[in-house]
């Protein structure tokens, strides 16, 4: 029997185990949420990671217990290879999936009825179908509710971490059949991604690989974020994404009593003008580039804070942020310059207010106490379609998902997963934004076939496939079908050896 067929068999065999792991990973924060509002979210991942680590050891997703550990930043790392394979040309493949979620918002989940943010499906008869359809991009058929896994983090993106666990387990079980031939897997459940995209790679790649050589340099990084697109296909193969940054604008004025506003300088009113002009600038398309594959850049006001002594006073300080998504050709410096040239900024300065425009730093501590302290600038990337990584990803899809997808599967998934893979790109950010480095920062072997950009940055080949729909992420009612999880597991397990085969 072929290796691909054996991988299919084991993915089916472990579907229930994968579902059990995912449901428990979703549920765990419920135990401590009342005492720790960050439980399960960025900087509150520890209990979930401890559970996953124990399961990795118990179910032999590693050869020996010391092959799995929590690193200095708080990422869960497990390393898998055939130790009897002494090849000097092993391909090093990283699996990357983040273990944190956005806020669970249990009260909002309760309004849909029948499902819980942590416990998942409780009573399908009580689900408000119309509200669910209004919330989600991809909605499962009602007859499939019980075959879905519901709850905060199901689609974004605990299913990805679970698929990494199953894939490494399968590869180990198939060592004698070539499951890990000429391959070394470094699998990572990262932290803080929701708050600080790319924080996990900031440590495991930029610190442990680039700076200290404590981990081997990757030939390929497989990102397990959800790659479903409700307008196209589930389980796409994604090979690119836009970058993003936060642009913070601080306007300082002079506070005074609201009955005498002429005595002060109002940062809220001047700041509001800046926001309005920024919106008009974007509506006109000024400073926005468009890329045929990755899409166009975007910018939107996303957060604000007001310092004021009371609601009947001129405020002292107004701080707000723009979420700026950057396409190919856009740079952080230019994005900031586009904001700086707004007339309302000079108007505020001329009126005697102080205006500062910057990329803010992320200052939150991870669950281990590590402080990333990085600028909130996250670079985009693209792996060329003719790269061996993409060729291997498509071939692995056809040998596993395409070959095993039955008419029953198609009916249950309502045609969402296709026989032919959709090769596309993420709309949102993933951990991949934490990977690009300056070209002179590290010297990798030429055989790694890293990607070099005209901007002076480089990175290993990156791509991904994962259970979950992008339009369902961060949404009340998020869910995945358990067969998405099965297919993602088999694809990952086949990809590693297929990439090694193609890259020789």
Q: What is the rounded distance in angstroms from the CA atom of residue 410 to the CA atom of residue 414?
A: 6
Length of the chain: 504
Per residue in 195-204, pLDDT (tens digit) is: 999 999 999 9
- Cβ atoms of 144 and 481 closer than 8 Å: yes
Q: What are phi and psi of 60, to 5 degrees?
A: 60, 45
Mean pLDDT of 481-485: 98
Per residue in 369-411, pLDDT (tens digit) is: 999 999 999 999 999 999 999 999 999 999 999 999 999 999 9
Q: How confident is the model at residue 504 (pLDDT cuts 50, 70, 90)?
A: confident
Residue 467 per-residue DSSP state: S
Instruction: Flag whether the pTM goes above 0.85.
Output: yes
Residue 254 per-residue DSSP state: B
Mean pLDDT of 117-133: 96
Q: What is the rounded distance in angstroms from the CA atom of residue 215 to the CA atom of residue 208?
A: 6
**Which residues have CB under 8 Å from 442's CB, separation 6+?**
209, 210, 217
Mean pLDDT of 324-351: 96
| β-pair partners for 356 | 250
SS3 80: strand
Going from the C-alpha of 456 to that of each of 317, 329, 374, 439, 459, the distances in angstroms are: 38, 12, 19, 6, 11
Positive or negative, the Cα torsion across 11, 12, 13, 15? positive
Segments in 91-241 forming alpha helices (H): 106-112, 129-135, 159-173, 199-204
> What's the Rg (C-alpha) of the chain?
24
SS3 183: strand
Going from the C-alpha of 166 to that of each of 172, 249, 424, the distances in angstroms are: 10, 45, 25
Whole-number pLDDT of residue 48: 98
Whole-number pLDDT of residue 190: 98
Whole-number pLDDT of residue 422: 97
Burial class of residue 408 in the structure, from the number of CB atoms within 10 Å of its CB (0-12 exposed, 13-18 middle, 19+ buried): exposed
Nearest 5 degrees, angle CA 403-CA 405-CA 411?
Answer: 160
Q: How confident is the model at residue 300 (pLDDT cuts 50, 70, 90)?
A: very high
**Which residues have CB under 8 Å from 391's CB, separation 6+?**
502
| β-pair partners for 359 | none
Q: How confident is the model at residue 423 (pLDDT cuts 50, 70, 90)?
A: very high
Mean pLDDT of 315-338: 96
Residue 323 per-residue DSSP state: E
Whole-number pLDDT of residue 160: 98
Q: What are phi and psi of 368, to 5 degrees?
A: -95, 0
Per residue in 218-273, pLDDT (tens digit) is: 999 999 999 999 999 999 999 999 999 999 999 999 999 999 999 999 999 999 99
Whole-number pLDDT of residue 13: 98
Per residue in 1-27, pLDDT (tens digit) is: 899 999 999 999 999 999 999 999 999
Q: What are phi and psi of 254, to 5 degrees?
A: -130, 120
Domains in the chain, ordered, with CATH?
Answer: 3-242+380-444+470-502 (3.40.630.10), 243-358 (3.30.70.360)
Helix (H) or strand (E) holding 388: helix 388-397
Q: For all residues of the chain together, what is the average pLDDT?
A: 97
Going from the C-alpha of 302 to that of each of 266, 384, 475, the distances in angstroms are: 21, 32, 17
Query: Other CB atoms closer than 10 Å to residue 111's CB: what's the count?
Result: 10
Q: What is the rounded distance in angstroms from the CA atom of residue 409 to the CA atom of residue 50?
A: 34
Q: What is the rounded distance in angstroms from the CA atom of residue 84 to the CA atom of residue 64?
A: 14
- Rounded to 10 degrees, the C-alpha dihedral 312/313/319/325 comes to 40
| β-pair partners for 94 | 186, 221
Q: What are phi and psi of 18, to 5 degrees?
A: -60, -40
Mean pLDDT of 154-176: 98
Whole-number pLDDT of residue 455: 86
- Classify strands 220-223 and 461-464 as parallel, antiparallel or unpaired: parallel
- Cβ atoms of 477 and 135 closer than 8 Å: yes
Instruction: Give the max Cα distance, the chain.
Output: 84
Q: What is the rounded distance in angstroms from the CA atom of residue 134 to the CA atom of residue 89?
A: 51
- Cβ atoms of 308 and 255 closer than 8 Å: yes
| β-pair partners for 314 | 256
Q: Which residues of 23-55 are buried (b: 16+ CB within 10 A; e: fewer)?
A: bebbbbbbeebeeeebbbbbbbbbbbbeebbeb
Residue 7 per-residue DSSP state: H
Mean pLDDT of 173-192: 97
Mean pLDDT of 447-465: 95
Instruction: Tell me which residue of 324, 307, 321, 318 sits closest to 348, measured CA to CA.
Output: 318
- Classify strands 423-426 and 237-241 as parallel, antiparallel or unpaired: parallel
Per residue in 396-405, pLDDT (tens digit) is: 999 999 999 9
Instruction: Tell me which residue of 204, 232, 244, 224 sits closest to 372, measured CA to CA.
Output: 204
Whole-number pLDDT of residue 1: 81
The region that residue 132 occupies, defined by phi over 0 for left and psi between -120 and 50 for alpha, beta otherwise, is alpha
- Cβ atoms of 310 and 253 closer than 8 Å: no
**Which residues have CB under 8 Å from 422's CB, separation 6+?**
229, 232, 233, 236, 237
């Amino acid at each position: 029997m072929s290796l691909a067929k054996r991988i299919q068999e084991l993915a089916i065999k472990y579907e229930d185990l994968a579902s059990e792991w995912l449901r428990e990973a979703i549920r765990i924060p419920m135990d401590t949420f009342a005492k720790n509002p960050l439980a399960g979210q960025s900087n509150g991942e520890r209990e979930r990671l401890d559970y996953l680590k124990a399961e990795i050891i118990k179910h032999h997703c590693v050869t020996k217990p010391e092959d799995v550990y929590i690193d200095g930043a708080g990422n869960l790392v497990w390393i898998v290879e055939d130790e009897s394979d002494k090849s000097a040309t092993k391909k090093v493949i990283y699996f990357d999936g983040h273990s944190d979620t956005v806020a669970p918002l249990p009260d909002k989940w309760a309004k849909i009825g029948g499902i819980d943010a942590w416990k998942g499906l409780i009573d399908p008869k009580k689900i408000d179908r119309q509200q669910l359809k209004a919330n989600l991009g991809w909605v499962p058929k009602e007859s499939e509710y019980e075959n879905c896994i519901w709850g905060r983090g199901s689609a974004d993106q605990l299913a990805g971490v679970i698929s990494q666990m199953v894939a490494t387990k399968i590869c180990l079980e198939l060592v004698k059949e070539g499951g890990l031939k000429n391959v070394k897997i470094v699998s990572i459940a990262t932290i803080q991604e929701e708050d600080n995209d790319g924080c996990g790679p900031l440590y495991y790649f930029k610190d442990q690989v680039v700076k200290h050589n404590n981990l081997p340099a990757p030939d390929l990084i497989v990102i397990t974020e959800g790659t479903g697109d409700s307008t196209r296909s589930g389980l796409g193969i994604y090979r690119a994404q836009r970058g993003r940054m936060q642009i913070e604008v601080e306007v300082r004025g002079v506070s005074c009593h609201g009955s005498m506003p002429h005595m002060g300088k109002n940062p809220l009113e001047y700041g509001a003008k800046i926001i309005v002009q920024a919106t008009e600038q974007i509506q006109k398309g000024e400073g926005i580039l468009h890329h045929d594959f990755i899409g166009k850049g975007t910018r939107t006001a996303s957060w604000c804070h007001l310092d004021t002594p009371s609601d009947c006073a001129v405020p002292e300080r107004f701080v707000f942020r723009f979420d700026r998504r950057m396409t190919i050709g856009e740079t952080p410096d230019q994005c900031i310059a586009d904001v700086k040239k707004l007339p309302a900024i000079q108007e505020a300065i001329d009126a005697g207010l102080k205006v500062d425009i910057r990329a803010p730093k992320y200052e939150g501590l991870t669950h281990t106490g590590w402080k990333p302290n990085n600028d909130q600038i996250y670079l985009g990337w693209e792996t060329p379609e003719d790269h061996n990584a993409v060729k291997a990803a498509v071939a692995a899809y056809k040998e596993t998902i395409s070959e095993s997808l039955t008419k029953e599967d198609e009916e249950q998934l309502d045609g969402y997963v296709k026989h032919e893979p959709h090769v596309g790109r993420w709309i949102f950010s993933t951990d991949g934004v934490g990977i690009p480095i300056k070209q002179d920062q590290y010297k990798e072997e030429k055989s790694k076939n890293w990607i070099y950009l005209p901007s002076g940055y480089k990175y290993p080949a990156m791509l991904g496939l994962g259970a979950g729909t992008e339009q369902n992420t961060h949404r009340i009612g998020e869910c995945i079908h358990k067969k998405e999880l099965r297919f993602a597991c088999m694809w990952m397990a086949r990809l590693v050896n297929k990439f090694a085969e193609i890259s020789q």
